[in-house]
Amino acid sequence: MIFASSSNFSKLLIVRTAHVFYVALVLFVALLFVAPHSFISPDIGGTILTITTFLFGFIAGFYILLTATDYNTLKGLLANETASWIVLHQYVTLYMPRTVSAFTALLDTYLRRAFDFEIIDYARGTQAEFEPMRAWVNALQPKKGIEYIHENIQETMQGIIIGRQQLTVLGTKTLSLFQWMVLCTLAALVIFSLYGVRSGELFFDIVTVLISSSVVLILLVIRDLDLYLWNEKTFGYDIFENLFKAIGQQAYYPEESIQKGRIHPTEETYRVGVVTNRHTLERRIDVVTQKKI
């Protein structure tokens, strides 16, 4: 589920961490040949570097704690939701074997629609596809002798509703624009101070580049946690592909995710959603068969 994307702001931010880090590393090396040596006095530069490094480390550590907590909570909620859908589908199969295909079709539509959004927008973006499933489940009538299955179906659906509400609460970025400005300002001051006090010695230049690159990497890690992009393949794609298999449907991927290299399908046959209307994100479903190497 770190998907195609619905938010233009999120779309701009979703850049591979490794790519940004390598670009930053090259820029910092190039900066060694551009920035003059010791353009800040050692006393002033040392004081600024000490204070900003302390503040940056303290604030960055606090932000990592906040974002990691929300990230782990959301990851658990997604795992619970997908497991609940599998259990619910099994219950429906036992309870309504003749009409379970209708429920399967609704669930398949819901899952495919989920891939049109980043995780941060997922719960809100799929509300229209969720409501028909809730109405379908609520319309089920108790059957004599197997009332307990009906009760289990209703309880499982209630659990999913609660989980989606929690996902909605978590569907906002933990850090505000102001907090990012403070963090980035401190990061810039650390890097500026490092380049300002360097003596021109090779060892000092290497340390300057490595520390500067590490500062950028810390910012990228916080960004990935804040936007729930960390380890996206496992809890953003794999758990939903397992759900497709559990309900007897072919794997599905948005065309954009494949083109951008965010996912590499391993199935021999899978479905691809090709956007036909960028305003409504309406898609055409193509079935792709690839040869296994």
- Residue 142 domain flag: yes
pLDDT of residue 262: 78
Residues 266 and 236 in one domain: no
pLDDT of residue 155: 96
Residues 203 and 237 in one domain: yes
The number of distinct structural domains making up the chain is 2
- Residue 268 domain flag: yes
Residues 226 and 281 in one domain: no
**DSSP structural state of residue 37:** T
pLDDT of residue 8: 41
Q: 275: closest CA among 3, 14, 2?
A: 3
Run of H or E including 154 = helix 147-170
- Residue 122 domain flag: yes
pLDDT of residue 244: 94
* Residues of the chain falling short of pLDDT 50: 1-14
- Residue 7 domain flag: no
Residues 244 and 263 in one domain: no
pLDDT of residue 124: 87
What pTM, to 2 d.p., does this model score? 0.80
Residues 200 and 281 in one domain: no
pLDDT of residue 293: 55
pLDDT in tens, 171-191: 777 788 999 999 999 999 999
Residues 143 and 271 in one domain: no
Residues 41 and 150 in one domain: yes
- Residue 276 three-state SS: strand
Q: Could you list the residue range(s) of the whole structural domain that residue 181 is in?
A: 17-249
Residues 283 and 216 in one domain: no
| Alpha-helix residue ranges (DSSP H) falling in 33-118 | 42-95, 100-114
Residues 189 and 257 in one domain: no
Residues 177 and 270 in one domain: no
- Residue 4 domain flag: no
